Amino acid sequence: MPRLLLVLLVSAALPAAADECYSVDPAGGSVSFELRQAGSPFRGAFHRFGGELCIAQSRVARIDVWLEPASVETALPEIDAALKAKEFFDVASHPRIAFASESVQVRDDRQLARGTLDIKGKRRNAEVPFRLRESGGKPLVSGSFTLDRLDYGIGTGEWSDTRWLGAEVKIDFSAALSRR
Partner 1 sequence: MVNLRNSTESYGIIAQAFHWLVALLVLAQLGIGLYAANLPVSLARLRWLSHHKSLGLAILALVLLRLGWRALNRPPGLPGSMPRWERRAALATHRLFYLLLILAPFAGWLYASAAGLSVNWFGLFQVPDLVSKDRQLAELFKALHIGLVALLASLVALHVGAALRHALLLRDSVMRRMLPWKPRSND
116-135 mask for partner 1 (x: CB under 8 A)? --------------------
Q: Work out the widest C-alpha separation in the chain, in whole angstroms.
A: 53
How far, in Å, CA of 82 to CA of 86, rounded?
Answer: 8
Q: Which residues pair with 145 in a beta bridge?
A: 171
Residue pair 65/174 in contact by the 8 Å Cβ criterion: no
Return the closest-CA partner of residue 11 out of 130, 140, 122, 142: 140
**In the complex with partner 1, which residue's Cβ is closer, 14 or 79?**
79
Min separation Cβ 167 and partner 1, Å: 14
Q: Which of 148, 151, 161, 168 binds partner 1 (CB under 8 A)?
A: 161
Asked if residue 168 binds partner 1 (CB under 8 A), the reply is: no
The number of CA neighbours under 13 Å toward the Cβ of 14 is 26
Return the closest-CA partner of residue 19 out of 71, 58, 75: 58
Q: Which of 78, 107, 108, 137 binds partner 1 (CB under 8 A)?
A: 78
Asked if residue 2 binds partner 1 (CB under 8 A), the reply is: no
- Other CB atoms closer than 10 Å to residue 33's CB: what's the count? 21
Q: Which of 12, 28, 41, 116 binds partner 1 (CB under 8 A)?
A: 41
Asked if residue 43 binds partner 1 (CB under 8 A), the reply is: yes
Asked if residue 79 binds partner 1 (CB under 8 A), the reply is: yes
The residues binding partner 1 (CB under 8 A) are 37-44, 74-79, 81-82, 158-159, 161, 164-165
